[in-house]
Structure 1
Amino acid sequence: MVTSFFSLRSYAASLLCAFVLLFAAASCGNDKGKVEGANMLYGTSGKVWKTAKETDAAGDKVKQTDAQEQETLHMFSNNTYSMTGTAGAVQGKFAFDQSAKTLTLTPDAGGTSNTFTVETLTDKKLTLVGTSGAKLALEAE
């Protein structure tokens, strides 16, 4: 009787540990929909973001060219940004609205501002959704 009690207790403890590990792994792996504060965009003073993945409006993966893979987005704590690539650099200002989950980029040289829906914003991930539904997933360097 004593042996079966300890066996049952050991079995229950094993199941509980497995459940906790499974839950922890599942919750760590999916940041979609998590939009943290503006400081995640720029860290303490500035942060560099690089493209990790791009999908079109239909959800199909867009192949990145070598030039596109070299493009970076620098976000600074004074609400300015700089996008650099093989074609040069574009500077401007950004506005982030955490409650509306939007990021607006306005270039200094004039032109049209672009507003994106922020699907994910954590210390390491930033996913922007355009008005067409196309997505750009960025990772912090």
Structure 2
Amino acid sequence: MKPQSLFSLRYVASLLLLLSLFVTACGNDKGKVEGVNMLYGTDSKVWKTAKETDATGDKVKQTDAQKQQELHVFANGNYTMTDGAAGAVSGKYAFDQAAKTITFTPEGSATSNQFSVETLTDDKLTLKSADGATLMLEKE
């Protein structure tokens, strides 16, 4: 093989490798937690379940009722979770960007639910519970 064609092949291979690394790095939002306004947009935002895994990392099959669930997050610190059959649960949330946590407290309840926020972008929200179960939501 000629030295010049070997150099060209290496050059093309290097470019392809760099391009694939760039695409991979840009396409993965895991670990990216942006500002609280990504939760609610300008005033409010609706999130729907995209995928759920249990504590062992196995995918949880969504029931029809779970597929209908929506999480409405409002700029004023309120939220409403609705599903087709059971109605709605409303309450307040608190987002701690530094700790990457969100706490939901239903109205009339003395207990709250805290989740680690693994991903928060304009169109993706991934919450992880204390037991390791993960809920991946997408903007509606």
TM-score, structure 1 normalization:
0.88
Q: What pairs up with 1:1-141 in 2 under 5 angstroms?
A: 11=9, 14-85=12-83, 86-141=85-140
Letter in 2 for 1:129: K
Tell me, what secondary structure is at the counterpart of 1:123?
coil
Q: How many residues align?
A: 138
Percentage identity across paired residues of the two chains: 62
Q: CA deviation at 1:139?
A: 0.7
TM-score, structure 2 normalization:
0.88
Q: CA deviation at 1:61?
A: 0.9
Letter in 2 for 1:17: L
Q: CA deviation at 1:24?
A: 2.3
Q: CA deviation at 1:101?
A: 0.6
Tell me, what secondary structure is at the counterpart of 2:56?
coil
Give every structure 1 segment of 4 or more consecutive aligned residues whose post-TM-superposition deviation is greater than 4 Å: 7-13
Q: Could you say what the CA RMSD is over the residues aligned between the two structures, in angstroms? A: 1.8
Looking at structure 1, the residues matched to 122 and 17 of structure 2 have their Cα atoms a distance apart, in angstroms, of: 27
Letter in 2 for 1:50: K
Show structure 1 runs of 5+ residues with no match: none
Looking at structure 2, the residues matched to 78 and 12 of structure 1 have their Cα atoms a distance apart, in angstroms, of: 56
Looking at structure 1, the residues matched to 72 and 130 of structure 2 have their Cα atoms a distance apart, in angstroms, of: 22
Q: CA deviation at 1:124?
A: 1.2
Q: CA deviation at 1:110?
A: 2.1
Name which of structure 1's ranges 111-120 and 90-99 shifts more when overlaid on structure 2.
Answer: 111-120
Q: CA deviation at 1:33?
A: 1.1
